[in-house]
Structure formats: C-alpha cells, structure tokens
C-alpha cells in the first residue's frame, strides 16, 4: 500500500514539473507541445538531472546549474502540491485500490479527476501571478468536464447531469451579476467562467461548500494582508486561487462538511 501511494506521489511531482513548464510557456506565448525545457534566464537546455522534481531544486540549491541564477520557489511548490493532490484524489475518492484497478469506469473517473486537478493548478498559479484566468485552460476544462458529465451520467441524464448543469448556471449567474453591477471591479469575467466550471464539476450541494469556503478564506486572507500592510482596502486581489481552494475542499471533504453542518443544526 505504501509503495502505491509513493508511486502516485512521485508521478504527481513529475506532472507538477510539466505544469510548471506549461505555465511558463503560457506566460510567454510559447508552445508546450514541442521543444525541450530550458532555463528561463540563460535559455540553456536542461538535462534529466536538472529536471528531477523537488530533488533538483534541493541539490542545485535553488540555482540554475549553468548561469547560477535563482530558480523560482514556485517550481518545487507546484511539484509538491500536485503530488499531494494526486494522493488526495486516490485516498478520498478511491480508498479501495483493488476496486480502482479492476473497475474500468472507476479508473476513468480517477484519471478524469487527476486531469481536472492538474489544470486547476495551472489556473491557480497563473491567476495568482497575473490576475488573469487563461481562456485556453478554462475553456478546455469546461469542455472536458461537460462531456465527462454528459457521458458518465448518460443513463441518468434526466437527473444527475442536469443537477450538475444547473449548479453551473446558478454559480456562474451569481458571479455574472457581481461582474455586471461592479463593472468588473469586484470580479473579472474569468471568475464567471471558473464558477461555471465549479458547478459543472462539483454539482449540488458541493458547489455551496466550495463558494462558502472560497469567500471565507478570501475574507480571512484579505483582512490579514490589510492588517499586515501588504494590501489596501481597494487593492486588487485575485479570487481564482480562493475559488480553486474551495473547489478542492468541496471535492475532498464537501459531504463531511455538509453532514457536520446538518447535525449541528439538529442539536
């Protein structure tokens, strides 16, 4: 069991390394489908031992082997975060590994969740750095999620699929109203697209858990930044990372949080 979890984590870190490459190439409008990885400073092509997730950063002491310029801490953090996300998907969604291996539908669902999680990591970092949700990634994610929900819930198209679809419309509609009435000052249109994705991905009632968590975490961090003098009351703060954090909270612990809340009301 430990070996399987270790393999999944290592696999996740290598995917995280690839996600770093995608983020950089999106930022610089480069294709990520061709060409070897290179140092962003000196452009020297990197070898295998320069690209081992986490360990290369440690052994190179956070500097390029060739030009000695600092490597952004983003790289190991994304690798670690992706590895941990892969473990969470495995542990919370598919605790029975034998069932995962023997059931093709479960295996497809597992792969789908890994793909969605990986693309959400790209959006998280990109929005955090540039205050923009990249259209290429969010529309790709919406397309993947839409067709997955349609096909996976085909036999229950009159119930399950529409539950996800109307959750998406409700979440997007709420953010669209904020975008319209604030004239884009409180919310970007990329957040509207992200809210649509969240509803389509999580469905009802997990979308409520995700949105509540996002606003709560956003408020806490925002107030903290103001108190520390890092931000002012009217400063712009990217909301995408909070929405994505709320999405993962709802995915992994949403039902437990809902049950806890309902039990709390009954006390």
Structure confidence by residue, pLDDT tens digits, 45-65: 888 788 899 999 999 988 998
User: Is a pLDDT exceeding 90 seen at residue 40?
Assistant: no
Query: Is 147 found in the same domain as 194?
Result: yes
Judged by average pLDDT, the poorest of 2-11, 17-26, 153-162 is: 153-162
Judged by average pLDDT, the poorest of 19-23, 88-92, 204-208, 247-251 is: 88-92
- The residues that bridge with 63 in the sheet, in sequence order, are 70
Query: Is 87 found in the same domain as 27?
Result: yes
Query: Is 144 found in the same domain as 85?
Result: no
Return the pLDDT at 157: 46
Radius of gyration (C-alpha) of the chain in whole angstroms:
20
Query: Is 218 found in the same domain as 160?
Result: yes
Query: Is 166 found in the same domain as 110?
Result: no
* Residue 159 or 209, more confident: 209
Mean local confidence (pLDDT), 69-88: 95
Cβ atoms of 15 and 86 within 8 Å: the answer is: yes
User: Is a pLDDT exceeding 90 seen at residue 11?
Assistant: yes
Top-ranked range on mean pLDDT: pick from 28-42, 117-131, 247-261: 117-131
Cβ neighbourhood burial of 10 (10 Å; 0-12, 13-18, 19+):
middle
Query: Is 178 found in the same domain as 106?
Result: no
Query: Is 179 found in the same domain as 84?
Result: no
Query: Is 121 found in the same domain as 2?
Result: yes
Mean local confidence (pLDDT), 5-23: 94
Among 108, 130, 152, residue at a domain's last position = 130
Among 130, 151, 173, residue at a domain's last position = 130
For 112, residues 6+ apart whose C-beta sits below 8 A from its C-beta are: 144, 148
The whole-angstrom separation of Cα 147 and Cα 152 is 8
For 22, residues 6+ apart whose C-beta sits below 8 A from its C-beta are: 32, 122
Return the pLDDT at 2: 79
Write out the residue range of the structural domain in which residue 119 sits: 1-130
Query: Is 159 found in the same domain as 104?
Result: no
Mean local confidence (pLDDT), 1-7: 84
User: Is a pLDDT exceeding 70 seen at residue 84?
Assistant: yes
The whole-angstrom separation of Cα 160 and Cα 170 is 16
User: Is a pLDDT exceeding 90 seen at residue 247?
Assistant: yes
Q: Where are the alpha helices (DSSP H) in 89-188?
A: 97-102, 104-130, 135-152, 162-181
- The per-residue pLDDT for range 143-187, each reduced to its tens digit, is 999 999 988 775 554 557 888 999 999 999 999 999 999 887 888
- What percentage of the chain reaches a pLDDT higher than 70? 90
Query: Is 122 found in the same domain as 11?
Result: yes
Among 114, 130, 146, residue at a domain's last position = 130
Query: Is 124 found in the same domain as 2?
Result: yes
- The residues that bridge with 38 in the sheet, in sequence order, are 45
Core vs surface per residue 221-239: b (16+ CB within 10 A) or e: ebeeeeeeeebeeeeeebb
Verify cis geometry, omega within 30 degrees of 0, for the bond prior to 201: no
What dihedral angle (degrees, nearest 10) is formed by the CA atoms of 43, 48, 49, 53? 90
Query: Is 246 found in the same domain as 179?
Result: yes
Structural domain tally of the chain?
Answer: 2
């Amino acid at each position: 069991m430990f070996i399987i979890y270790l393999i999944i984590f290592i696999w996740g870190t290598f995917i995280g390394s690839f996600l770093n490459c995608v983020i950089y190439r999106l930022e610089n409008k480069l294709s990520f489908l061709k060409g070897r990885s290179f140092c962003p400073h000196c452009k020297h092509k990197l070898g295998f031992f320069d690209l081992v997730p986490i360990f290369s950063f440690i052994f190179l002491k956070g500097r390029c082997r060739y030009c000695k310029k600092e490597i952004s801490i983003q790289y190991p953090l994304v690798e670690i975060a992706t590895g941990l996300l892969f473990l969470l998907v495995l542990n919370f969604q598919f605790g029975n590994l034998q069932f995962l291996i023997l059931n093709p539908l479960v295996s497809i669902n597992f792969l789908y969740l890994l793909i969605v999680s990986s693309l959400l990591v790209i959006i998280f970092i990109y929005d955090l750095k540039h205050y923009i949700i990249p259209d290429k990634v969010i529309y790709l994610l919406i397309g993947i999620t839409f067709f997955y929900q349609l096909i996976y819930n085909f036999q229950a198209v009159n119930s399950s699929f529409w539950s996800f679809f109307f959750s998406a419309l409700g979440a997007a509609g709420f953010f669209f109203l904020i975008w319209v009435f604030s004239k884009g000052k409180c919310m970007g249109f990329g957040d509207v697209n992200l809210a649509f994705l969240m509803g389509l991905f999580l469905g009802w009632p997990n979308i409520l858990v995700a949105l509540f968590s996002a606003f709560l975490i956003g408020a806490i961090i925002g107030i903290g930044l103001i108190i520390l003098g890092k931000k002012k009351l009217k400063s712009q703060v990217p909301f995408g990372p909070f929405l994505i954090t709320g999405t993962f909270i709802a995915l992994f612990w949403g039902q437990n949080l809902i049950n806890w809340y309902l039990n709390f009301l009954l006390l």
